[in-house]
Chain A
Amino acid sequence: MDTEKSSSNIVRVEGVRKVYHDNGVPVDALRGINLTVSPGDFSVIAGPSGSGKTTLLNIVGTLDKPTEGKVFLDGEDIASKTRRQLADIRLRKIGFVFQAYNLNPVLSALENVEFTMMLRGVEAAERKRKGLALLEELGIGELAHKRPNEMSGGQQQRVAIARAISNDPRLVLADEPTANLDSETAVRLLELMERLNHHDGITFVFSSHDPQVIGRAHRLLILKDGQIATDKIVQ
């Protein structure tokens, strides 16, 4: 029963605690989080600064390890994985969209998208074909050969989204993706991600306190002092 439940969820978080040490003083960033993410979800983890949104996203994204509790990705307990296995899980199953876009500055838009496919061993011709198709789909095909410093914030974030979905991940984790964008650009970007969720079935989990993001959530989780205060489906 437990296995069935695990396999139907992309993410299952059980009793996760995370304690940081700030100058030797223990700080509880997460205090007993239980959470599941199902395929096709468009969830937003909201909450004030310091509530533990990014920490939770980092733990779900295997970038950080919980002090206590378990995290299952596609039914697999990530606690026992090596650094190499975790890197492989992130490469194949998770796409990341960061607040500051975090594109590689020495690569063009297309090369940034191709990069993750290259790490996965996709052939050069296929990488190029798919990379161009993704950029076209996200409306920035003409910027394929531009470097990040030649693009606006919104354009860079679109490239970041293209990079995040280039390896057909099970889950895209977006940490404050609109925080650095003006509201008009943010709306267009959210519409884009909604479209990817709706048409392509890509699962998104956001961390944000932007009302525009929260307003589009299908499921809203509000964190407060490291605990889930609210978990509700939004119609």
Chain B
Amino acid sequence: MLSRIAWRNILRNKRRSFILMTSIVVGVLALLLTEGFAIGLMQQMLTNQVGADAGYIQIHKAGYQADPILELSMKKPTEIEEILSKDSSVLNYSERLEVFGLVSSPYNSYGVSIDGIIPNEEQRITTISRYVVKGSYLSGEPGQILISSAMAEKLKVGIGDKVVIMASQTDGSVGSEACRISGLFETFDSGFDQSHVYVPIVTVSQMLNASGLLSKFVINPKSPSQLASVETRLRNEIQDLPHGGRNYEVLTYKEMLPLLVAMIEMYKQALYLIALIISFALIFGIVDTMLMSVMERTHEFGVSMAIGMSNRSIFLMVMTEAFYLAVIGTIVGLALSYIIISPLSRSGWDLSAFSASLTSLGAGSTIYPVLETSSVIQTVSIIPAATLLGAIYPALKAIRLQPVEAIRAT
């Protein structure tokens, strides 16, 4: 019966209940939309970086990650290829030979990472081929080069033009190769675009006079969820190779992109802070409105006390009102969040106006918000809890009323 009274009290002042419920709905929306966009942004930053270049796992010669020099390249290790080709959880892998060098045109020269790739294998591992905006991706023929539009502009070259790549060989002499531009790419990250060029691995090998050398294996597991198990298995199997443990390092993107991982962690912490701020704002809103509701019913509470209603029952009744509002507000908020986020998660939200900052973050100019189960669970825990917390003070106010004075109140 207490719950029935609580419910009717909510219906009694529809406008106030609506305002109160709206603040709960707004709280839910604020929390879920913030989380949805932030998580979407973080996932995009991660998948872009991992997908375009790093891959999920890499195998290098030990020490290469800290000091990526040609001297720390691997003599094509067939035993590692065997391990990778036998592992059923490995979706694809690719070999690269990378070196820091120069790309030059008759007008300009720039320092870049010259990434020697096996074009058709790379296509199965990374997404660089999808970012070609002009010309075509590498066919695999020696002497081709893929550079970014930004770099082409700086070098004042175009499709079909020749540029020269050059880098130091292991003996200290400088090797160079003339390459014809087959295509121009534009990724989500302007910094990345200006620091990478792609050529067939054979071209880099020729330039460096380093046939059979590899900088890295880039590996993708069948599913990102298998990352940890694949990494552990590869590490163990490579360690079991003769001198394997000392010769190689197996790294996940978390170790290869520490800045990005730290940034994502920082975003997550910021989300907790935002949730806290939203909860506090909600608590104060609830205290204010519920207090008004309690004070308006002072006379009624006095009569209820007079006829024998205990403090416990009065407290429970006020809290039940808050509970109903919290439940309804949260459900409505969840539904609205779904209605807003669901289509945006497919079409994305074009934030071209902020594209410069988003591109420098490596997220792209369109954000695809994500409604994660963990966000929903967090919201359905935090918002009703904040509502009930906010109702405690008004409920205590109600039970502290003196019956005689309360009955006199009009």
Interface positions of A (Cβ within 8 A of B): 58, 61, 63-64, 83-84, 87-88, 90-92, 94-96, 98, 102, 104-107, 111, 114-116, 118-120, 163-164, 167
Q: Are B306 and A90 in contact (CB under 8 A)?
A: yes
Instruction: Using CB atoms, name the residue of chain A closest to B410.
Output: A100
Docked pose: A87 CA to B1 CA in angstroms: 19
Pick out which of these stretches binds chain A: B125-133, B138-146, B308-316, B389-397: B308-316
Q: Once the chains bind, are B308 and A90 in contact (CB under 8 Å)?
A: yes
B311-A107 in contact (CB<8A): no
Decide: A84 and B308 in contact? CB cutoff 8 A. no
Nearest residue in B to A112 (C-beta to C-beta)?
B307
A84 contacts B310, C-beta separation under 8 Å: yes
Known: A104-B300, A106-B9, A107-B8. A88 touches B404 (CB 8 A): no
Question: Is there an interface contact between A91 and B5, defined as CB atoms closer than 8 Å?
Answer: no
B407 partner residues in chain A, CB cutoff 8 A: 63, 98, 102
* Contact status A84-B306, CB under 8 Å: no
Could you say which of A87, A98, A115, A163 contacts B305, with CB atoms under 8 Å apart?
A87
Question: What are 6 contact pairs spanning A and B, CB under 8 A?
Answer: A84-B312, A88-B310, A90-B308, A107-B8, A116-B307, A120-B308
Closest B residue by C-beta to A106: B8
Task: Say how far B320's CB is from chain A's closest CB, in angstroms.
Answer: 13
- Contact between A87 and B5 (Cβ–Cβ < 8 Å)? no
State the CA gap A76–B340 with chains docked (Å): 65
Q: Is the CB of A91 within 8 A of B306?
A: no
Question: Which residue in B1, B11, B303, B305 is a CB contact (below 8 Å) of A118?
Answer: B1
Measured between C-beta atoms, what is the minimum distance from B85 to chain A in Å? 73
**Alpha-carbon gap, A64 to B313, bound state (A):** 20
Per the bound structure, the CA–CA distance linking A202 and B5 in Å amounts to 29
> Chain B 214-228, CB within 8 Å of chain A: the 1/0 string?
000000000000000
B403 interface hit (Cβ, 8 Å): yes
Q: What is the predominant secondary structure among interface residues of chain A facing chain B?
A: helix
Contact of A119 among B9, B308, B311 (CB under 8 A): B308
- Say yes or no: A107-B307 contact (C-beta < 8 A), given A58-B404, A63-B404, A63-B407: no
CB of B12 closer than 8 Å to a CB of A: yes
User: Pick the contact of A91 from B9, B299, B308 — CB < 8 Å?
Assistant: B308
Q: How many B residues have CB within 8 A of the partner chain?
A: 24
CA distance A163 to B307 in the complex (A): 9
Cβ–Cβ contact A90 & B307, under 8 A? yes
Tell me which residues across on chain B come within 8 A of A114, comparing CB atoms: 1
Question: Are A87 and B308 closer than 8 Å at their CB atoms?
Answer: yes
| A119–B313 CB distance below 8 A | yes
Chain A residues whose CB sits within 8 angstroms of the CB of B310 once the complex forms: 84, 87-88, 91, 119
| Interface bits B33-68 vs A (CB < 8 Å: 1, else 0) | 000000000000000000000000000000000000
| Residues of chain B lying within 8 A (CB to CB) of residue A119 | 307-310, 313
Q: Are B306 and A96 in contact (CB under 8 A)?
A: yes
Partner of B5, one of A61, A106, A116: A106
Closest chain B residue, CB of each to CB of A120: B308
Residues 134-170 of B contacting A (Cβ, < 8 Å): none
Which partner residue on chain B sits nearest A114 by CB separation?
Answer: B1
How far is A111 from B305 in the complex, measured between Cα atoms in Å?
Answer: 17
- A107 and B309 contact, CB distance less than 8 A: no
Q: Are A91 and B403 in contact (CB under 8 A)?
A: no
* B residues 1-42 in Cβ contact with A at 8 Å: 1-2, 4-5, 8-9, 11-12
**Residue of B1, B300, B304, B313 ringed by the most chain A CB atoms within 10 A:** B1
Q: Which residue on A lies nearest to B300, using beta carbons?
A: A104
Q: Which residue of A lies closest to B7 (CB)?
A: A106
Evaluate contact between A98 and B1: CB separation under 8 angstroms. no
Q: Give the contacting residue for A106; candidates B12, B299, B306, B308; CB below 8 A.
A: B12
A127 to chain B, nearest CB (A): 9
Distance to closest chain B CB from A95 (angstroms): 8
- How far is B300's CA from A111's CA once the two chains are assembled, in angstroms? 15
Other than A90-B306, A90-B307, A106-B9, give 11 A-B pairs with Cβ distance below 8 A: A87-B308, A104-B303, A105-B300, A111-B1, A115-B1, A116-B307, A119-B307, A119-B309, A119-B313, A120-B308, A163-B307
Q: A64 touches which one: B8, B9, B404 (CB < 8 A)?
A: B404
Complex Cα–Cα for A102 and B309 (A): 14
A96 to chain B, nearest CB (A): 5
Q: Contacts A63-B407, A107-B8; is A84 near B300 (CB within 8 Å)? A: no
List, in ascending order, chain B residues with CB within 8 A of A92's CB: 308
CB distance from A227 to the nearest CB of B (A): 21
Min CB gap B318→A, angstroms = 14
Please encode chain B, from 192 to 233, with 1 for each CB lying within 8 Å of some chain A CB and 0 for all others: 000000000000000000000000000000000000000000
| Residues of chain A with a CB closer than 8 A to B11's CB | 106
Asked if residues A84 and B5 are in contact (CB atoms below 8 Å), the reply is: no
Contact B311 A84 (CB under 8 A): yes
CA distance A119 to B314 in the complex (A): 11
CB distance from B408 to the nearest CB of A (A): 10
